[in-house]
Amino acid sequence: MKKKYNLINLKTVKSTNLEIKKMISSKVNINNLCLSADNQTDGYGRRNAKWFSYKGNIHLSILVKPKCSINEVNQLSFMTSITLGDTLKKIKSNINIKYKWPNDILLNKKKIAGVIVETSSFVNKKIKWVIIGIGLNIKKSPNLNTKEFKITSLNKEKIYVRKDDFIDSFLQRFFRNYEFWKKKGFNFIKKNWISNVYKKNNKIVVKYQNNYIKGKILDLLINGGIKLKTSKETKELFYGDQIT
């Protein structure tokens, strides 16, 4: 089967997302380009949070040109999360994978991977390009004293994979899902993600504007926000972080 993507492997970069941005700025006509690096010296996540990069882990960015609206672009973050989750589940059928809003993947209740989505400015209400950055801890994870979710790696959880094989399997599944999303929309992503969201007693807690909101997740919105039913009302949250 012909691959639907081009994969470049580099030794060391500041960030795989930044490296693809350089290629875009050079006006090379590229699409479905994937860039992997053994190491990142300046990896980052949402809101420029530091992403700890270690040799043997996956640092991967994907460039696509979906011509979608700004309102739909975050759907690609959830699509990437479920693709990572489903690829991990193929390794071990009873693996405990859950998703944390908005962009984290949990293994055994600990953070194993994260996703960041960056976009162009829009032209005629359409996005010109999207870069999806993925970090997956295979061999090593940072030892951070967090009050919320602990961080882990596949090796810590006694799950062993060959990095190149995993990337290939993930990318094949990613582009199948991507084509399906372009044709059929967000529903299949939404159902998969919501049915596997991490929650305690059917509730999640979200940190939102320095407040903590507890409730039942009712829906994943078209722009990546969530609809949450609290004890008093139904709220729509468009940004924030799930902390439990």
Q: What is the CATH number of the domain that holds 72?
A: 3.30.930.10
Same-domain status, 31 and 128: yes
- Parallel, antiparallel or unpaired: strands 104-107 and 110-119: antiparallel
108-163, pLDDT tens digit by residue?
999 999 999 999 877 777 898 999 999 999 999 988 777 779 999 999 999 999 99
Q: Are residues 22 and 89 in the same domain?
A: yes
Long-range contacts formed by 184-191: CB under 8 A, 24+ apart: 186/72, 186/75, 186/222, 189/75, 189/78, 189/79, 189/82, 190/78, 190/219, 190/220
pLDDT value, residue 123? 72
Both 226 and 109 in one domain: the answer is no
Distance between CA atoms of 204 and 235, rounded to whole angstroms? 13
Which residue positions in the chain have pLDDT lower than 50? none
159 and 179 share a domain? yes
Note whether 161 and 210 are same-domain residues. no
Q: 186 lies in a domain? A: yes
> Do 189 and 214 lie in a common domain?
no
pTM for the whole structure: 0.95
Expressed as residue numbers, the domain containing 225 is 204-242
DSSP state of 120: P
Same structural domain, 189 and 209: no
CATH of the domain at 232: 2.30.30
Q: Tell me if 112 is assigned to some domain.
A: yes
Domain assignment present for residue 115? The answer is: yes
| 184, two tokens | 């059929």
Q: Rounded CA gap, 34 and 53, in Å?
A: 18
1: in domain:
no
Count structural domains, the chain.
2
Co-location of 146 and 237 in the same domain: no
User: 227 and 148, same structural domain?
Assistant: no
211 and 182, same domain (yes or no): no
Measured distance CA(167)–CA(173) in Å, rounded: 10
Question: Are 183 and 215 within one domain?
Answer: no
Q: Do residue 157 and residue 60 come from a single domain?
A: yes
